[in-house]
Structure 1
């Protein structure tokens, strides 16, 4: 029987402490009256699921819009709306039941993020720093905001981080995880060029285009498979709904911190929609080119890319802060090699396993 090594016992000790602390915080906000959440995105996700059950296309409403003013249109890939419909069909029909089910699921993904960070630091022998970094993501104000409003961020970010962690050793699984993250919430779409550049750089010369195309298909296999019925149902509504996030009227939860395009759009009315994103896209392009030509890591490039999105996107919501913040701890120690002690423990575990199999 394979027993836990000292490093694993230490890891689980730290993680259990963090789980207990996280549970205390989550339970505090689980007491929030469900009716108080009816203005949040999670309510409209439940509502779109209800519409699907009633035979309505959640992407059709955007066709009546001017592509500028938001009326809580369905701007995500169908995964979350189909999940909502499935949960309701399983008997959790009203919004209260849906929220009661979603709360522990969101908590599990939150702890999953914390566990990934702690393990990444542990493998480099950075126990105390890893504990501090994990605690920031667990108990910091941006996480508390997500807990309070019950957004999808924990689920989407978990699969993104899992993808980034697995990218080097299990590339195919990593690409599928990235696809799931996009299917939940497509904020990380700006990292797609980094993934494609990674595949290009790490594939053989003769098969580069083939492997690049295969990787692209693998990333979008889940989002496209789930989207196909809605594309057939109403292609214009589907694509306009996804595009709406790029053309919508600027909005901010932090009025004193507008993006630079919002400032200049007051005197230059043409700086709107896609044109307002040109500076942001240009800066992201420099990061992509740096990743292609310079010796920078995937976590570093991903962090800077998401920081550019946070700092320059016309639309700013408080949940956006969590995206670069969750990748940042990995970027800080990306180039620190795994500790020799970790390697010794792994070798010992392998030896014990081999000996046990022979017995």
Structure 2
């Protein structure tokens, strides 16, 4: 297995490096309309003493003007990079491009290993190639979004959730700190902590786990909360209230279609169907003992299909989880040396109180 795995990974690494390098020649000026530029710009504003979250206060919480909608980790990292000497946008790209490649390769390596441990050599190679060279990955590589870093941390979290839960929760926290797309998985994590905790310490373990999950977003956000709490909260909430017109042409969400005749169906009200479907998934995970991985994949799929705003980079989130969930029930070849990404919770392992 090791020889096959490393040969396959080396082949994929070479192909992925060629793909990434082909986009590294894009001039920095051509990327100034992308999010990666505004992440660099927010770092520059922080160094200049400007609050990146204050601009949203002059908005109507509907039309986007490239507001700072992420938690501050990426902005602070950008500021740090500029403080150590890489002050230009092109210098920022010189650092971010190889980092993005290594995170992308990490996603591929985790996926490949997950399949190979189940004896699915050919299928694993195809799954890894899809995540490496598929159109959604090519798009993210071309515009240098944060997705590879955030998804890699999420997969690491799911991989460690059973064996090293605290480290897994910290990796999930880091994923949220980079980009909070996976915030919809938070209820699944809390339910998992409750179901796997000992009877007399369940609540304590859930609270402690919740604090670990919040650690990276909250600790990095504290200075901005003190600086301007209203601006911070409105910036973070902007993604939920913004206009739904930024969808891919010809594929609007259901609420965007209905809002043409029902103008009140906008903002948080437009998210009711999405939230209701996610609530059913949480309930299924709680009552029907479905696996964490399958539930997480379906949650991200609901986000992709029902969120008012759709961007191409969103497609990689459910895809990276769904490929693994497809073969989750295939037992590992060496169960004593390896384990499923997140083993299914069997009814007999759950006490009557937690059902």
- TM bin (shorter chain): over 0.9
- Cα deviation 1:286-340 (Å, max 9, x = unaligned): 0000000113111110111000000000000010001000111111111211114
Q: Does 1:113 align with 2:107?
A: yes
Q: Does 1:287 align with 2:281?
A: yes
Unpaired stretches in structure 1, ≥5 consecutive residues: 1-6, 347-359
- Cα deviation 1:112-158 (Å, max 9, x = unaligned): 00000011111111111111100000000000000010000000000
Q: Which residue of 2 aligns with 1:334?
A: 328
| Bigger Rg, structure 1 or 2 | 1
Aligned residues of 1:62 and 1:241 also touching (Cα < 8 A)? yes
Separation in 2, partners of 1:56, 1:345: 49
Aligned residues of 2:172 and 2:213 also touching (Cα < 8 A)? yes
Separation in 2, partners of 1:301, 1:234: 36
Separation in 2, partners of 1:278, 1:21: 42
Q: Which residue of 2 aligns with 1:209?
A: 203
Q: TM-score, normalised by structure 1?
A: 0.93
> RMSD over aligned Cα, in angstroms?
1.3
Separation in 2, partners of 1:247, 1:43: 23
Separation in 2, partners of 1:241, 1:344: 46
Separation in 1, partners of 2:158, 2:294: 11
Aligned residues of 1:253 and 1:318 also touching (Cα < 8 A)? no
Aligned residues of 1:123 and 1:338 also touching (Cα < 8 A)? yes
How far 1:252 sits from its partner (Å)? Answer: 3.0
Aligned residues of 2:70 and 2:179 also touching (Cα < 8 A)? yes
Q: Which residue of 2 aligns with 1:162?
A: 156
Of the structure 1 ranges 144-153 and 120-129, higher mean CA displacement relative to structure 2 is found in: 120-129
Separation in 1, partners of 2:93, 2:294: 35
Aligned residues of 2:42 and 2:75 also touching (Cα < 8 A)? yes
Unpaired stretches in structure 2, ≥5 consecutive residues: 340-355
Q: How does 1:286-305 map to 2 (within 5 A)?
A: 286-305=280-299
Q: How does 1:346-357 map to 2 (within 5 A)?
A: none
Q: Which residue of 2 aligns with 1:178?
A: 172
Runs ≥4 residues deviating over 4 A? 342-346
Give the number of aligned pairs.
Answer: 339
Q: TM-score, normalised by structure 2?
A: 0.94
Q: Does 1:245 align with 2:236?
A: no
Alignment CA distance shift 1:293-1:345 (3 Å): closer
Separation in 1, partners of 2:168, 2:322: 19
Q: How does 1:95-134 map to 2 (within 5 A)?
A: 95-134=89-128
Q: Does 1:69 align with 2:63?
A: yes
Q: How does 1:193-272 map to 2 (within 5 A)?
A: 193-272=187-266
Corresponding residue SS for 1:207: helix
Aligned residues of 2:153 and 2:171 also touching (Cα < 8 A)? yes
Separation in 2, partners of 1:250, 1:265: 9
Aligned residues of 1:68 and 1:247 also touching (Cα < 8 A)? yes
Q: Does 1:142 align with 2:162?
A: no
Separation in 1, partners of 2:239, 2:93: 25
Separation in 1, partners of 2:33, 2:60: 22
